[in-house]
Amino acid sequence: MQRRIISQFSYSKRVHCQLSPIFFFASRRTLTLGGEGVDDPLYADVPRPCRRKSERKPYPTPMKILIRRAKEEKEARKAQPSRVLEDPPDNGLLVPELIGVAHQVYQAQQSLLLGLRKLIDVIPVQRCRFCFEVHIGHMGHEIRTCTGPKSGFRSSKHVWRKGRVEDAVYFPKCFHLCDRVGKPRVVHDERFNIKRIPAILELCIQAGVDLEKYPTKRRARPVYCIEGRIVDFEPETEKDEMRRNVEASDLGTKTEEMERNSNSHNPSHFLTHSNNGEEKSLKELSTTTLESWFEMISGAKKIMEKYSVKTCGYCPEVQVGPKGHKVRMCKASKHQSRNGLHAWQEATIDDLVGPNYVWHVQDQNRPALDNSLKRYYGKAPAVVELCVQGGASIPDQYRSMMRLDVVPPDRDEVDLVA
């Protein structure tokens, strides 16, 4: 009798060992279909947050290439300790072909903010009271993704309130540099004496936009690099001052011309009541706002190819310039080992302009988005979702992310779906 029980037990153990890998692969495949895996090739562009706060942001440029560049620069300094920097903007001069792009980005950013302020009055923006979740529409979704305080008592449900323009698009701020080459760093004791402005605005100023509120130094001659240090031998004479004034006046005339040209594309132009009704003006405003968004993003990418932008690898802090600042204000992971300093690395366009991805709503007349159907919903930047709901055409680069080819079932049909 004991031998029979032992044989049956060993047989059941072998069967369980044979079936466990099958269950493992089945469960993994189910998680992938549910939107929690990373192996689904169809919707790999759907943004996913970091799993752990201790993880560092990925490097845009591989580490091997960065090490190779550092070695080449070190060898070049040894071979020629004193040299004149020839390539702008490292030598303190402006890049001529990017001055017009900087003005376009500045005008597009102002046009985008003006258009968003008008669209929010018609299409409301919902913001969670306890976390950073944003939703576009008259009612918030029911997807349980809240990570704010006491979210466990609410079953991770969001508590919605009315949002603002800053919730739709986020422009992180950085320190304004009056001399990006002569004094590229801001120390900790200067943190209250130097203004903080949006990073996209600082990028435009360094690329050639002149604003009276934020003065910056413009050079007419390149700087020298002596043993890795930047030295400026440009004399402060009356001729150089007159030359800078002439350049500033030329840039001012260019700005006035671009403002006149942009008035025809100003979103406020479409807010006038016409005989065709309010719906047409709303559609035109949404289209113009979306065009301003893409113009700002594409122009900022071109400028970032020449003008360096740094971001912290653990927090959203951004600094426009050749080096990051030394203000001890980082509170992210491992900040104790860095004495509060940021772990600077190369920034991307998402660090410069926060897109703030939201759930895409295909039909406004249907009920709110259900938590059990979240694997069928797509995402899009809040600006794109707001303009699409206002009547603008869906951009081609976001069609896969928004999952337009997926038809979500009803709530009573969830159990019938394989």
Summarize the confidence of residues 228-239 as an average pLDDT: 63
Nearest in space to 123 (alpha carbons), one of 387, 393, 365, 392: 387
Calpha distance 217→100 (Å, rounded): 19
The pLDDT value given to residue 19: 36
CB 359 within 8 A of CB 135: yes
**29-38: Cβ within 8 A, 24+ apart:** 33/375, 34/375, 35/374, 35/375
* pLDDT recorded at residue 407: 81
For 351-363, write each residue's pLDDT tens digit.
Answer: 999 888 999 998 8
Whether 264 has a pLDDT exceeding 60, the answer reads no
Give the pLDDT confidence score for residue 16 in this predicted structure. 42
Highest mean pLDDT range out of 2-16, 342-356, 365-379?
342-356
Confidence check: pLDDT of 169 > 70: yes
Strand partners, 362: none
Encoded tokens for 56: 């560092």
Residues 110-142 pLDDT 10s: 999 999 999 999 999 999 999 999 999 988 999
Q: Is the pLDDT of residue 33 over 50?
A: no
Give 335's pLDDT tier (boundaries 50, 70, 90).
Answer: confident
Provide the pLDDT confidence category of residue 411 given band limits of 50, 70 and 90: confident
If you average pLDDT over residues 180-196, what whole number do you get? 91
Q: Would you say residue 156 has pLDDT above 50?
A: yes
Amino acid 41: pLDDT: 54
11 SS3 class: helix
Mean pLDDT of the chain: 80
Check residue 289 and give its pLDDT: 95
Q: What is the pLDDT of residue 365?
A: 80
Q: Are 307 and 206 in contact (CB under 8 A)?
A: yes
Q: What backbone phi and psi angles, to 5 degrees, belong to 274? A: -115, 175
Contact, 316 vs 351, CB < 8 A? yes
Do 108 and 292 touch, CB atoms closer than 8 A? Answer: yes
**Mean pLDDT value of segment 244-251:** 48
